[in-house]
Amino acid sequence: MQSVSNLDQQEPRPVGAKLLIVEDEISTVFAMREFFSFHGYQVDCATGAPDAMALLDRSPYDVVITDLHLTPHRCAEGMTVLARARSLNPNALLVMLTAYASDGSEHEAYCSGVNLYETKPVGLAKLAACIESARKDRPARASMSTRGEWGGPCPK
């Protein structure tokens, strides 16, 4: 263990990727923010689509993680957030989290350009490993179009 006086002399952690977390459950936001900040990410958080849109308009993000449903109405607001993130930064890694997974929603998410689709609860270490793996081994992203419920046809 190092003394407090030695902590100031440590080299700063390298600045990591910019990450936006969009989640309506405050305890989940807190846990994810602490975890990813500790692992070198520059983390911003929003608890709803309007705040997320404002943050996206201010700065590009390398990674955007959002819950599919951000209100009790279950209107798939997360897809709107990810569509904006993709339009502002075509190279962003987009991660969809949901407690209401279905084959249809997963298919639509991937067809819409989502890079990772995870069902809650998901361990943060697993999520981080998936994100890092995807960032290193990214194939060309699926392009989003305006057809379909959330996007266009899947890549062949």
Interval 109-123 mean pLDDT = 89
Interval 34-61 mean pLDDT = 95
d(CA 82, CA 78): 6
Q: What is the overall mean pLDDT for the chain? A: 80
More confident residue, 152 or 39: 39
* Nearest in space to 139 (alpha carbons), one of 125, 124, 155, 152: 155
**Residue 95 CB-half CA count within 13 A:** 27
pLDDT band at 138, cuts 50/70/90?
Answer: low
d(CA 91, CA 63): 9
pLDDT band at 136, cuts 50/70/90?
Answer: confident
d(CA 149, CA 111): 10
- Asked if pLDDT for residue 47 goes beyond 70, the answer is yes
pLDDT given at position 113: 87
CATH number of 15-135: 3.40.50.2300
- Asked if pLDDT for residue 149 goes beyond 60, the answer is no
Q: Beta strand pairing status for 116-119 and 18-22?
A: unpaired
